[in-house]
């Protein structure tokens, strides 16, 4: 293949979509994407990253590829989680600009021309911020808002609530991000951390086209903790601070006990109060040990240097990367 041929076959825009049991959404998303993308004056590819789906998502992706070679796919060997599927898809993308979005049509394909416009104006990262639809639960709204406050406080990296993994990355930024080797991937944080020139576009979120969210409370909590613990050691410092405060409290309690026994002469109050202090201190101690344990657990996972995901099959992509290592 000559150089010109190669340049021609590299699409200008890649759209990367992680999908886990999204069979009912993939075909519809493809139709909408195709409509939007063909109206734009650039060559494109769509890469689905099948995150170990147990429905017929992969068959749908392969049959789309049969009809339209611009549809490509990677299939992970099992369900590794949204962030890893996204990363696997990104590792296969070849476009000069790469858009990532969800498969469930909550991220409107119609916004892509606006993202590309901002990119052409010179922004290397174009974020999107979701304006929540009325249907979204108050619980999800307030917890996500609170979480990003705490995240920003701990890490010094600002993430606006409503920022999701729907964004455009320039090739240069993507290449840098693909070099990140941490096991606890938190792309939202990484994309903020790298800097570069960025811009933000807001959009009205739709409700899921088909199926229900794959994020259970448990998954959300673990995702949230991954985010904070991979970006900040402030929780550990906070632990030390609590340690000092409670020891100070306990120490003044002891001083008071001596005072009341030997100086003021009043008897030490019954053992109930000392037991209360004791158990309180023990409680704090266990929390601190647990917190330190969490970080040590993270260190263990990082030290093992396991691949972050395994690619089982690929269609239409020619990248050599098949495991989550560079
Ligand atoms: N997803 C994935 N692996 C998972 C869970 C989700 O690839 O283990 C994909 C899913 O198919 C969707 C995107 O990640 O394209 C966002 O997931 P979901 O819609 O369930 O999350 P929510 O929109 O509720 O935050
Ligand atoms: Mg969704």
CA 223 to chain centre: 7
In ligand 1, the atom with minimum distance to the C-alpha of 19 is 11
Atom of ligand 1 nearest to the CA of 104: 15
CA–centroid distance, residue 82 to ligand 2 (Å): 11
Q: Nearest residue CA, atom 2 of ligand 1? A: 82
Separation of CA 28 and ligand 2 centre (Å)? 15
CA 106 / ligand 2 centre spacing (Å)? 6
> Looking at the structure, do residues 165 and 284 belong to the same domain, yes or no?
no
Residue 1: predicted pLDDT: 43
CA 246/CA 240 separation, integer angstroms: 10
Cα 51 to middle of ligand 1, angstroms: 9
- Confirm or reject: Cβ of 102 under 6 Å from ligand 1: yes
Question: Domain check: are 247 and 225 in the same one?
Answer: no
- Same domain (yes/no): 136, 85: yes
Same domain for 197 and 238, yes or no, is no
Mean pLDDT: which of 6-15, 20-29, 138-147 is highest?
20-29
Q: Does the CB atom of residue 20 touch ligand 1 within 6 A?
A: yes
pLDDT band at 124 (very low <50, low <70, confident <90, very high): very high
In sequence order, the β-bridge partners of residue 199 are 126
- Helices 23-38 and 112-120 sit at what angle, rounded to 10 degrees? 50
Whether the CB of 23 sits within 6 Å of ligand 1: no
Q: How many domains does the chain contain in total?
A: 2
| Ligand 1 atom at minimal distance to the Cα of residue 51 | 7
Let me know whether 220 and 253 are in one domain: no
* pLDDT for 326: 40
What is the position in ligand 1's atom list of the atom closest to the CA of 18? 7
Same domain, 253 and 282: yes
CATH number reported for the structural domain that contains residue 47 in this entry: 3.90.550.10
Residue written as token pair 């455009």? 168
Q: Do 146 and 276 fall into the same domain?
A: no
Among 170, 203, 231, which residue terminates a domain?
231
pLDDT score at 320 = 57
Q: Indicate whether 53 and 119 sit together in one domain.
A: yes
Distance 166 CA to ligand 2 centre (A): 11
Residue 215 in contact with ligand 1 by CB distance below 6 A: yes
The answer on 219 and 240 residing in a single domain is no
Model confidence over 22-69: pLDDT tens digits? 998 999 999 999 999 999 889 999 999 999 999 999 999 999 999 998
234 or 27: whose pLDDT is higher?
Answer: 27
pLDDT at 88 exceeding the cut of 90: yes
- Are 71 and 163 contained in the same domain? yes
CA distance to 107, 123, 127, 263, 273, per residue, from 112 (Å): 10, 14, 11, 77, 64
Specify if 324 maps to a domain. no
The protein residue with its alpha carbon nearest to ligand 1, atom 5, reads 82
CB of 214 closer than 6 A to ligand 1? yes
Q: Which residues surround ligand 2, an ion (CB under 5 A)?
A: 102, 104, 106
- Domain residues for the domain of 297 are 233-304
73 CB less than 6 Å from ligand 1? Answer: no
Q: Which residues pair with 97 in a beta bridge?
A: 13, 170
Each residue of 280-326: pLDDT tens digit?
A: 778 788 888 888 888 888 888 888 878 889 888 888 887 655 555 44
Query: Last residue of some domain: 207, 231, 255?
Result: 231
3 pLDDT band, cuts 50/70/90, is: very low
Cα(299) to centroid(ligand 1), Å: 27
Is position 1 within any domain? no
How remote is the CA of residue 54 from the centroid of ligand 2, in Å?
Answer: 18
């Amino acid at each position: 293949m000559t150089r010109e041929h190669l340049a021609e076959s590299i699409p200008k825009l890649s759209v990367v979509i992680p999908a886990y049991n999204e069979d009912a959404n993939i075909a519809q998303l493809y139709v909408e994407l195709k409509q939007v993308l063909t109206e734009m004056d650039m060559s494109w590819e769509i890469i689905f990253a099948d995150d170990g789906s147990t429905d017929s998502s992969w068959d749908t992706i392969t049959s789309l590829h049969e009809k339209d070679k611009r549809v490509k796919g990677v299939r992970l060997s099992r369900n590794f989680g949204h962030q890893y599927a996204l990363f696997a898809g990104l590792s296969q993308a070849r476009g000069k600009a790469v858009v990532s979005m969800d498969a469930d049509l909550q991220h409107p394909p119609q916004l892509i021309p606006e993202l590309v416009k901002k990119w052409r104006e010179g922004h290397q990262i174009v974020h999107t911020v979701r304006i929540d639809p009325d249907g979204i639960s108050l619980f999800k709204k307030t917890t996500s808002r609170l979480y990003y406050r705490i995240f920003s406080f701990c890490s010094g990296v600002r993430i606006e609530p409503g920022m999701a993994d729907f964004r455009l990355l320039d090739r240069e930024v993507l290449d840098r991000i693909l070099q990140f080797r941490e096991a606890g991937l938190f792309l939202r944080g990484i994309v903020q951390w790298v800097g570069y020139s960025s811009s933000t576009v807001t959009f009205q979120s739709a409700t899921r086209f088909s199926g229900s969210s794959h994020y259970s409370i448990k998954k959300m909590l673990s995702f949230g903790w991954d985010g904070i613990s991979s970006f900040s050691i402030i929780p550990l410092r906070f632990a030390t601070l609590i340690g000092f405060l409670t020891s100070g409290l306990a120490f003044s309690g002891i001083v008071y006990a001596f005072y009341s026994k030997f100086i003021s002469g009043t008897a030490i109050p019954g053992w109930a109060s000392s037991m209360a202090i004791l158990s309180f201190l023990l409680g704090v101690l266990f929390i601190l040990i647990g917190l330190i344990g969490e970080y040590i657990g993270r260190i263990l996972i990082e030290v093992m240097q396991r691949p972050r995901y395994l690619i089982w099959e690929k269609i239409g992509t020619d990248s050599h990367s098949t495991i989550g290592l560079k």
